[in-house]
Each structure stands twice: as C-alpha cells, then as structure tokens.
C-alpha cells in the first residue's frame, strides 16, 4: 500500500526541511547548545544571539517590536498566559470577559477555569457564516469588562474574523483585546499595530516549524498588565520562567520568516488546489461547504456529506488523512461544537469532514483524494440505503 495522503495541515504541519536544517545546527556538540541565560561564557552568548534573532523574525511577521515577543511552549500556553494572566492582574477593576462559542479549546477551557474563580464570561454566538460581528462585541461590553478574546482564523472552518474592527472597538472602550492567531501566520496578513491587538497567541507547528514552541505578543506601551502562570528562573521578562529551547525557538523564527516570504505564492497555489478538491468532491452530490459565504483561508475546506456519517467516512478514507473536527477534540464522541454553534444539527456536524492542504500538497494527491472520496461516499450511501 502506498503512503497515505496528508490533508490535515490545520492539525499540524510537517517541519520544512529548511527549518529542520537550522534546528539541527543547534543540536550538534559544535553548535549553539549552551543555555541562552548563561551570559558568562561563549556557549551561552551564542545561543542567546540565535534566540534574539528568532525574536526579531517572529516580531517582523506580525508587525511588532522584538521586545514584545514572549517565548512559550505553544499557542495553548500563550492563550492561557494571556487570558488568565490578564484576568488575575486586573481582577480588582473588573471580572467580565467576552469571547465566542467557536474559540479553540485552549481559550474555552482557560475561560472555564476563570469562571470557577468567580469571573463572568459572555460567549457570543456567530452567524451561520461563522462570523462574530463587531456590533455583537460592542453590545456585550460592560463597565466591568476587562478582556475580549477572539480568534483570527477558525481552525475547523477557516473563517477569518475581522479582528481589526474588534481591536479598534476595544481600544476605544479601554478593554484589552487578545487574539488567538495560531492558524494565521503565512495565510493572512497580521499587523498587531494596525489591528490594535494587545495580546496575540502564536505557535510554530502550524507554520512548518517544530511542535513544542510558541510565542505570545504582549503590547508594551502602555503596558498590558499580566500575571505569570509559571514561576521559576524569571526568564522572558519575568512572564514565562523556564530554560529556553534554543533549537525550537530557532525553528520557529526560521519558519515564520519563510511563511511571510512565501505567503502570497502559497496562498494562491493552495486556493487553486482547494477549488480543484471541492469541484471533485461536489460531484458526489448532496454536499455543502460549511461557512461557505464567509471569507476563509485558502487551505481549509470543511464539507458536510449528507447521508453519510463523518466518522465512518473518515475511517473509510484510510488512504487520506483528514479530520472530523479539531485535533484537540479528536478523543470526543460529540459532534463539532464549532459547527453546532453555526446552527448545524448534531447529525450535520457529525457528517462533516475538514480537508486542509499545505505547502507540500500536490495536484496528484488532490486527484487521488477526490477519487477516494467519490468511491467511499457512494459505497457508504449505498449501505445506508439498504
């Protein structure tokens, strides 16, 4: 059997070989293997130079200054640091937070923890197109609102939120704005200054970098006010203690630099491949794209196959790696909470699959995936009809 086709880039991406080469240089005995905090010797200083170069690369990708970038273990930690850190720091002036029902679990579960601590959270429901309108945010704000948290690109549907409009609204009202941008880098423009974002969560492994490393942008002027959730050596401006993993940070910097340099070419190519994939899938009939009317990133296609149970189809498509929902919820038997928030029934949500393309996807792979989907959907519908 030939190798399966990978169409699950929204869950994670393979590390770009160019990124891997940069990382390997840090792992060899003759490489920059020192502790970046050990400034008293050459090994530590060499590692620190690479860490700071990567900080510049990540900052450049989002239109920020290097001193605003705080290294973390990934977007989950960044989300938790931003949300819990802001809430606990500013609890004396307000305990209300606004978010949406379609956020990543890293945001939703962080908010649940705060609710257990006595905070009040308003969860906005998007329209059928997956969009949370800025006016919904405006109406939800209260005198005691201290934070709004809204993701930029939805990991299941690919819907792009107008976070710039929300950022401007929050800035006018004196409310801090956090944005989960795990799916954004290399796919859509990100400029924290223009979008007036106060905190931005990022991760390397959605942009052809390594797993286990991410960053949080924290606005410095005026200071946001953030309480750390990890304690120890006081690294990263006292906001995130722990020895910095030089090779992973170098990988994230290299990955983000490549993602920005190649964004336009990647976006155009993937949009063409996605359209080719959809035209082939559409031929099976009685299928529809979830959140089709919204502005979506070019690499994600979330499709409802009416008359077919999504998990059965996913299992049948052994030659194609796809998802029935977010990777963080893959152990759950429940239908996608994101699709249900868009008004899809449990049955419709369970009959949906997410196809996500990436830098290494090819036309041949798309054609093979189309053939597999057409064959298996037809077979499963035939079985269902008895």
- Inter-residue contact 327 to 319 (CB < 8 Å): no
C-alpha distances in Å from residue 279, one per residue of 129, 301, 321, 367: 21, 11, 19, 11
328 included as an active-site residue: yes
CA 169/CA 227 separation, integer angstroms:
24
| 263: helix, strand or coil | helix
365 contacts: CB under 8 Å, gap ≥ 6: 5, 6, 7
Strands (E), the chain: 5-6, 69-72, 96-100, 120-124, 145-149, 176-180, 199-203, 214-218, 287-289, 300-305, 320-321, 352-356
Rounded Cα–Cα distance for residues 160 and 296 (Å): 5
Helices (H), 239-320: 246-261, 263-282, 310-316
Which among 26, 170, 179, 328 is annotated as catalytic? 328
Query: Which residue, 305, 301, 343, is CA-closest to 130?
Result: 343
- Could you give the CA distance from residue 229 to residue 117 in angstroms, rounded to a whole number? 15
CB contact set of 333 (below 8 Å; sequence gap of 6+): none
User: Which residue do the tokens 């910097």 mark?
Assistant: 253
Could you give the dihedral angle defined by the CA atoms of residues 368, 282, 159 and 153, in that order, rounded to the nearest 10 degrees? 0
Residues identified as active-site: 328
């Amino acid at each position: 059997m030939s190798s399966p086709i990978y169409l699950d880039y929204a869950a994670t991406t393979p590390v770009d070989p160019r990124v891997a080469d940069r990382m390997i240089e840090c792992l060899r005995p003759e490489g920059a293997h020192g502790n970046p905090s050990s400034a008293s010797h050459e090994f530590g200083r060499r590692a620190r130079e690479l860490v700071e170069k990567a900080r510049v690369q990540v900052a450049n990708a989002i239109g920020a200054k290097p001193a605003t970038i705080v290294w973390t273990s990934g977007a989950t930690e960044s989300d938790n640091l931003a949300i819990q850190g802001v809430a606990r720091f500013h609890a004396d002036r307000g305990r209300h937070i606004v978010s949406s029902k379609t956020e990543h679990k890293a945001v939703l579960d962080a908010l649940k923890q705060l609710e257990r601590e006595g905070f009040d959270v308003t969860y906005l429901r998007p329209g059928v197109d997956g969009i949370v309108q800025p006016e919904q945010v405006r109406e939800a704000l209260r005198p005691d609102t201290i934070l709004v948290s809204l993701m930029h690109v939805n990991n299941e549907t690919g819907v792009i939120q107008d976070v710039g409009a929300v950022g401007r609204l929050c800035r006018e009202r004196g409310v801090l704005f956090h944005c989960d941008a795990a799916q954004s880098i290399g796919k859509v423009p990100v400029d924290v200054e223009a979008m007036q974002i106060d905190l931005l969560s990022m991760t390397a492994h959605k942009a052809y970098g390594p797993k286990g490393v991410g960053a949080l942008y924290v606005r410095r002027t005026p200071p946001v006010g953030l309480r750390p959730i990890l304690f120890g050596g006081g690294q990263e401006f006292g906001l995130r203690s722990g020895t910095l993993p030089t090779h992973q940070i170098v990988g994230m910097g290299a990955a983000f630099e490549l993602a920005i340099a190649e964004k336009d070419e990647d976006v155009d190519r993937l949009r063409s491949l996605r359209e080719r994939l959809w035209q082939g899938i559409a031929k099976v009939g009685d299928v529809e794209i979830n959140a089709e009317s919204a502005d979506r990133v070019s690499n994600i296609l979330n499709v409802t196959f009416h008359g077919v149970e999504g998990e059965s189809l996913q299992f049948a498509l052994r030659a194609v790696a796809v998802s029935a929902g977010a990777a963080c919820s893959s152990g759950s038997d429940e239908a996608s909470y994101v699709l249900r928030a868009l008004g899809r029934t449990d049955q419709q949500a369970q009959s949906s699959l997410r196809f996500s393309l990436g830098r290494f996807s090819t036309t041949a792979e798309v054609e093979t995936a189309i053939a597999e989907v057409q064959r298996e959907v037809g077979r499963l519908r035939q079985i269902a009809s008895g």
